[in-house]
Structure 1
Amino acid sequence: MKVKDLAELVGISVRTLHHYDEIGLLKPDTISEAGYRYYSERNLDTLQQILFYKELGFSLKQIKEVLEEPGFNQQKALVWQRKMLLEKRDKLNQMILTIDKTIQYKKGDIHMTSEEKFKGFDFSHNPYEKEARERYGDKKVDETAKGMTQERQEEMNNLYRELAAIRHTDPASKEAQEAIKKWFILLNKIGSYSLDAFKGLGQMYILDDRFTKNIDQFGEGLAQFMSEAMGSYADDHQKI
């Protein structure tokens, strides 16, 4: 399948597919002598994975890292993606229902309790906590929770503000990496984070709405910036 045909099939631009090729995210299996890109069925499966992960909030860099992991299993990934999308759908359906009821309430058609006005806004459940405990252990997760004193929280808030001020720069830049190093050091004062755990935590910043909302109150897009900066920091220092 030529690049134009694939773009029309999926509903994305040719430029996007060229960009995916340039960054090594989706390289066509065949390139003709004339320079035409031809995409195989395997390429289509990979593109499907990319789009599912994008829908779940992954950055292109993080998607590339996931797809390149030696143990990556597409079938297991699809099962996990389905689970996350179902949870997202259920939450959205509940919020739509709350909006519909609120419209009726504003019209005077129904009575609505205070509790019903906020149905669907569930910040008490963290769907990624179980995964975090499985990956990093109960001790590490509990240490992080217990180590959060008021003084430490203010230290974190100050660092959030510092990072927010540079969130529009390249997450891999020297300035960003020096700032995110402070975050790595601070987290290790609270608990004990390996580079892999640090990178995994960064991924949760954009996968878990609770993390994203809390971090982005210091500046829209901060969670995404920190996630990418943490990934770059972990990758660079694992090479040392």
Structure 2
Amino acid sequence: MELKINEVAKLTGVTVRTLHYYDEIGLLKPSKVSEASYRLYDDDAIELLQQILFFKELDFPLNEIKEIVKSASFDRTEALKKHKELLIKKRKRIDKLIKLLEKTIEGECNMSFKEFDNIDFENAKKKYAKEVKERWGKTDAYAESEAKTKNYDKEQWQKVNEEGGDILKAFAENREKSADSKEVQALVKEWQDYITKRFYKCTNEILKGLGLMYSQDERFKENIDGYGKGTAEFMSQAIAVYCRK
């Protein structure tokens, strides 16, 4: 079975725009593109999309999901079993909240708050996230970053964070300029060099993917826009220009 992108969107509830974004960052590419330029998705691609949505349901960021599902050692069946365990825990908590609501609607005076306790699910999710990253998140970039940062002490991390913050602040201060201006493009190069020096070799391909995530992934966007509203989108545009050269 092969579905066009709009058919996949209708089937899954994932918007066409989001599917385009997943394609751009290399998370989920169409199985092939027809002569008429239609993106087509086969059963394997649909299964991968389902797996991505399971990870998203558990609040994994897209960059980590990509590392995991692209890992050669990724075990889809085992991952699905773990997803099931966590979703069952989530459902049990929701069922308890529904029962509490029903009692309250019926007029029963119940001052119980234990139903709101989410610690069991959160602890299980954190444990699973740790296991996933250890087993399937070991891309070359991940391994290099882990090796570089494992011995950073508190002062070194402070220095690293300050360096990154200074560059992001500079992007914010220059966001009224053109994304292809000499000053802004110099900042992109500085950001790429910063990532390479402090974490892992940031190739243009990796940088391009990061740029897309800065404007599309809410976690990245919120953090970067903390330096000034619109900074994430501006930075994304500047990186796109840089990577086209």
TM-score computed with the length of structure 1 as normaliser: 0.51
Contact 1:95 1:121 in 2 (8 A): no
Is residue 47 from structure 1 mapped to residue 49 from structure 2 by the alignment? yes
Distance, in Å, in 1 between the alignment partners of 2:54 and 2:131 is 24
Residue 43 and residue 102 in structure 1: after superposition, are their counterparts in 2 closer, same or farther (change >3 A)? same
Question: In the alignment, what sits opposite 2:178?
Answer: none
1:114-125 paired onto structure 2 within 5 Å: 116-123=112-119
Residue type at the aligned position of 1:112? N
Q: Which residue of 2 aligns with 1:110?
A: 108
Q: Does 1:23 align with 2:30?
A: no
Tell me the distance in 2 between the aligned counterparts of 1:37 and 1:85: 32
TM-superposed deviation, 1:56? 1.3
Offset at residue 37 of structure 1 (A): 1.2
Check if 1:127 corresponds to 2:124: yes
- Which residues of structure 2 form unaligned runs of 5+? 135-153, 173-187, 200-217, 225-245
**Cα shift at 1:35:** 2.0
CA contact (8 A) 1:28 1:38 kept: yes
In 2, Cα distance between equivalents of 1:34 and 1:24:
22
Residue 122 of structure 1: CA displacement?
A: 4.2
Per-residue deviation at 1:119?
2.8
Question: Matched residues in 2 for 1:57 and 1:134: separation?
Answer: 13
1:100 to partner: Cα distance: 3.1
Residues 111, 9 of structure 1: CA spacing in aligned structure 2 closer, same or farther, 3 A cutoff?
A: closer
Gaps of 5+ in 1: 137-151, 185-219, 227-240
Corresponding residue pairs, total: 153
User: Aligned-pair distance for 1:36?
Assistant: 1.7
Mapped partners of 1:95, 1:221: distance in 2: 28
Are the structure 2 counterparts of residues 99 and 221 from structure 1 closer, same or farther at C-alpha, using a change threshold of 3 Å?
farther
Deviation for aligned residue 1:133: 8.7
What TM-score, normalized by structure 2, do the two folds share? Answer: 0.50
**Which whole-Å CA distance do the structure 2 matches of 1:45 and 1:134 have between them?**
19
Aligned-pair CA distance for 1:17: 1.2
1:231 matched to which residue of 2? none
Alignment of 1:141-220 (within 5 A): 174=191
Q: CA RMSD in A?
A: 4.1
Contact 2:68–2:132, Cα closer than 8 Å, also in 1: no
